[in-house]
């Protein structure tokens, strides 16, 4: 029989190496966290315009105790949004912060014109949250009334 070389004899005596799974799991979770963080930023950048559905069959607002009702109008020509709260007009959402913090609201209802940009609603939502109101309900309306007229024309 042929004599084995020293290298082959050494390799045959060695055990198969074990793979450390714990380190692989750590790397997997780091990568997963990284991609989750990056993808959420990309989604926020990509959705600059949110198309909201029409609320044709929406009921009239019945005001409840403990709720703050905020109405938002949008002027597409001037590209300005106005906020109405307690029959007063506010040009910036931040003007509502001291007023909302003094009140004891449990919930807020934002009713915005359908064409109002999401950026403005996002600023308003942040102001409401900073005032300590956690429950926020959203609604839209069509200022021209075209959608309501179209729905009324379809009814028999």
Q: What is the mean pLDDT of residues 95-107?
A: 85
For residues 78 and 140, state if they share a domain. yes
CB 122 within 8 A of CB 93: no
Query: Is residue 4 a part of any domain in this protein?
Result: no
Amino acid 101: pLDDT: 84
For residues 79 and 137, state if they share a domain. yes
| pTM (two decimals) | 0.52
Whole-angstrom Cα distance, residue 131 to residue 101?
A: 5
Over residues 16-63, the pLDDT tens digits come to 777 777 788 888 899 998 888 777 655 555 555 656 555 555 555 566
Name the residue range of residue 40's domain.
Answer: 19-46
Under the banding of pLDDT at 50, 70 and 90, the label for residue 147 is very low
For residues 147 and 80, state if they share a domain. yes
Q: What is the mean pLDDT of residues 86-108?
A: 86
Query: Is residue 124 a part of any domain in this protein?
Result: yes
Give the total number of structural domains in the chain.
Answer: 2
Query: Is residue 61 a part of any domain in this protein?
Result: no
Within 10 angstroms of residue 138's Cβ, the number of other Cβ atoms is 13
Query: Is residue 14 a part of any domain in this protein?
Result: no
Whole-angstrom Cα distance, residue 73 to residue 58?
A: 18
For residues 105 and 32, state if they share a domain. no
Query: Is residue 28 a part of any domain in this protein?
Result: yes
CB 129 within 8 A of CB 69: no
For residues 36 and 104, state if they share a domain. no
Amino acid 2: pLDDT: 59
Query: Is residue 9 a part of any domain in this protein?
Result: no
Q: How far is CA 99 from the centre of its chain?
A: 24
Q: What is the mean pLDDT of residues 3-12?
A: 69
Whole-angstrom Cα distance, residue 102 to residue 27?
A: 48
Query: Is residue 136 a part of any domain in this protein?
Result: yes
């Amino acid at each position: 029989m042929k004599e084995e070389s020293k290298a082959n004899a050494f390799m045959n005596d060695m055990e198969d190496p074990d793979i450390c799974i714990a380190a692989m799991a750590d790397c997997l979770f780091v990568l997963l966290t990284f991609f989750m963080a990056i993808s959420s930023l990309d989604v926020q950048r990509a959705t600059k315009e949110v198309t909201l559905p029409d609320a044709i069959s929406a009921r009239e607002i019945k005001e409840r105790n403990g709720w703050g009702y905020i109405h938002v109008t949008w002027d597409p020509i001037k590209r300005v949004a106005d906020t109405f709260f307690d029959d007063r007009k506010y040009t910036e959402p931040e003007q509502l912060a001291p007023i909302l913090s003094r009140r004891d609201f449990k919930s807020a209802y934002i009713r915005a014109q359908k064409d109002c940009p999401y950026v403005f609603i996002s600023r308003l939502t942040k102001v409401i949250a900073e005032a300590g109101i956690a429950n926020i309900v959203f609604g839209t309306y069509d200022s021209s009334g075209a959608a309501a007229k179209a729905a009324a024309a379809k009814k028999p």
